Structure 1
Amino acid sequence: MSSIATIVGVDIAKNVFQLHWVEPSTGEIVNLRLKRAKFLDHFSNRRPCFVGMEACGGSQHWARRLIALGHRAVLLPAKQVKAFVHGNKNDAADARAIWTAMQQPGVKAVAIKTEGQQAILALHRMRQQLVKFRTAQINALRGLLTEYGEVMPKQRAGLNKHLPDALARLCDRLPGMLIETLRDQYARIRGLDVQVREIESRLKQWLRQDDACLRISEIPGVGMLTATAAIATMGNVQAFKSAREFSAWLGLVPRQVGTGGRVQLLGISKRGDTYVRTLLIHGARSLLFRQSETPTWAAKIAQRRPFNVAVVAIANKIARTIWALLAHARRYRSDYASQIA
């Protein structure tokens, strides 16, 4: 951080914001409480400074507004701020902890996203919510039918095939109002299918319009969902120094436990965005199942290591390839061989 610009820690809330900073000229410690309507007015009259906030609901919006006013906004993960909260937890203590965390070396800030990127993430979140609700409805429907001796196959295609016959067999045994309610629930599930497909069609439309998404969608194992989610989640690709840093940010590298000069590598850290990491692993798994498209190095790993280890290795490679294509503005080439700079 520059020694000239003032560092301000901000604890944001729904209606009241708490600010903490130290005046560079006098060394005075300032704790200021502002209403939401006065927050931007305060910073519009200040010299450019570093403003730190926890990455939480609304923080992306305020970061964009502060950047528009000429300040530098920094979003910090809540886990890294929590370590500096001393004593009782309150707004003033949180603002002071954010101010302290901003000055620590090695603290990785959260990428600030554009409104367009957040819009794409909002579509992904709504689709994810619909899929979860649909799965819950399907499982509930299976459970209810199991109580009457009708066991449905696990796959969705099996449910679609056997449910009409199962309801027909139960018509003579169960009250009509129950049969109609079961049919309503199945219709509700099909309605959720329509809503999921509508969101996916909007994501495909955005994919066709975005050059970066088109370039990384050419990578084997990267589909429409992975491409759009990765672009929207990472924000500015230049925020990551290397491909390995990006894969580590997604939690696809081993955790380390070391003491006395001995370092032990464990399973993947699972840090970062769970949704994007899950999509990458699913894409890698599908790539490993399609043996005709499996890279040679990945096939060799699958022969000597457990299946899931090979899947994570492919997901790690896909994440690194995504960063490389975006950072260097290139298109995917299957015959490309990396060289030492």
Structure 2
Amino acid sequence: MTKLTTIGIDLAKNTFVLYGLGPKGQCGWKRKVRRSQLLEQLVRQEPCTVALEACGSSHYWARQIQALGHEVELLPPQHVKGYLRGQKNDYNDAQAIAEACEHGRIRPVPIKSAEQQDEQVLHKLRQGVSKDRTRISNQLRGLLAEYGVIIPKGIAALRRELPLALADADNALTERARQLLSRQYQHFMKLEEELAWYDEQVKQTAKQDETCQ
């Protein structure tokens, strides 16, 4: 069999397709393997360049494949599209990835370490909590306005004014509305606590990071 210089892998959840290229760009082989078989298939190959699209789980697989002695390149998906030939399918996608890598003009995406991915998870989760807090604060402000209770924009104003509005017996809020809005406000405050925890985690990470220092 022709020695493979580049293997393109089309990643999926359960079944992966591999497409190998030889020294002159000819096809060495094609394989379809289950998730559990991928590393077993690659450990049989002599060290070569393995190309993946930079997508979900690609950084994990890149680290695993590097540990087998292969060189790994993560390619931006939008740049791989130009190399796709014929109808889009798993084999053609894997071939496009391999040929895009061989072309050599696409700047690869740096492979993240597990620690770098930890930090990415931290920031993504914090962003989600922040968005939830903003959504609920806007919802509370809008619902109160339907009863003629106007609270200025801003998180600080909501924290300050909403408890006062719920306790004000002279405004137009009904008892049922007070009960419902109070429960949602409690949820809002829990998100505040959660966001404060994430903010503290970010501060602690920044203190330990040489680049931030």
Q: TM-score, normalised by structure 1?
A: 0.58
Query: 80-89 vs 115-124, which deviates more?
Result: 80-89
Identify if the C-alpha distance between structure 1 residues 155 and 25 changes in structure 2 by more than 3 Å, giving closer, same or farther.
closer
Alpha carbons 1:12, 1:18 under 8 Å: kept: yes
Identify if the C-alpha distance between structure 1 residues 44 and 180 changes in structure 2 by more than 3 Å, giving closer, same or farther.
same
Q: Aligned residue pairs: how many?
A: 211
Give RMSD over aligned pairs.
2.0
Aligned 1:257-276 pairs, distance under 5 A: none
Match in the other structure for 1:99: 98
Identify if the C-alpha distance between structure 1 residues 35 and 147 changes in structure 2 by more than 3 Å, giving closer, same or farther.
same
Which amino acid in structure 2 is aligned with residue 34 of structure 1?
A: V
Q: Cα offset for 1:5?
A: 6.2
Alpha carbons 1:20, 1:32 under 8 Å: kept: yes
Match in the other structure for 1:36: 35
Deviations 1:32-72 (A, max 9, x none): 10111110011112111101101111000000011111111
1 CA distance for matches of 2:212 and 2:27? 49
Q: Which has the higher contact order (CA 8 A, sep 6+)?
A: 2
Alpha carbons 1:171, 1:179 under 8 Å: kept: no
Match in the other structure for 2:153: 154
Deviations 1:58-117 (A, max 9, x none): 000000011111111100111111222233221111101111211224311111011001
2 CA distance for matches of 1:65 and 1:27? 26
Q: Does 1:86 align with 2:85?
A: yes
Deviations 1:229-288 (A, max 9, x none): xxxxxxxxxxxxxxxxxxxxxxxxxxxxxxxxxxxxxxxxxxxxxxxxxxxxxxxxxxxx
SS in 1 for 2:7: strand
Q: Cα offset for 1:26?
A: 10
Aligned 1:8-19 pairs, distance under 5 A: 8-19=7-18
Q: TM-score, normalised by structure 2?
A: 0.91
Which amino acid in structure 1 is aligned with residue 135 of structure 2?
A: A
Alpha carbons 1:138, 1:189 under 8 Å: kept: yes
1 CA distance for matches of 2:8 and 2:25? 18
Query: 86-95 vs 167-176, which deviates more?
Result: 167-176
Alpha carbons 1:9, 1:19 under 8 Å: kept: yes
2 CA distance for matches of 1:80 and 1:71? 22
SS in 2 for 1:13: coil
Q: Does 1:53 align with 2:27?
A: no
Which amino acid in structure 2 is aligned with residue 45 of structure 1?
A: R
Unaligned runs of 5+ in 1: 215-341
Alpha carbons 2:147, 2:172 under 8 Å: kept: no
Which amino acid in structure 1 is aligned with residue 138 of structure 2?
A: N
Match in the other structure for 1:145: 144
Q: From the CA coordinates, give the structure whose radius of gyration is larger.
A: 2
Aligned 1:61-72 pairs, distance under 5 A: 61-72=60-71
Match in the other structure for 2:133: 134
Alpha carbons 1:23, 1:30 under 8 Å: kept: no
Identify if the C-alpha distance between structure 1 residues 43 and 171 changes in structure 2 by more than 3 Å, giving closer, same or farther.
farther
1 CA distance for matches of 2:103 and 2:25? 22
SS in 2 for 1:106: coil
Identify if the C-alpha distance between structure 1 residues 29 and 177 changes in structure 2 by more than 3 Å, giving closer, same or farther.
same
1 CA distance for matches of 2:103 and 2:22? 19
1 CA distance for matches of 2:67 and 2:145? 58
Identify if the C-alpha distance between structure 1 residues 206 and 5 changes in structure 2 by more than 3 Å, giving closer, same or farther.
farther
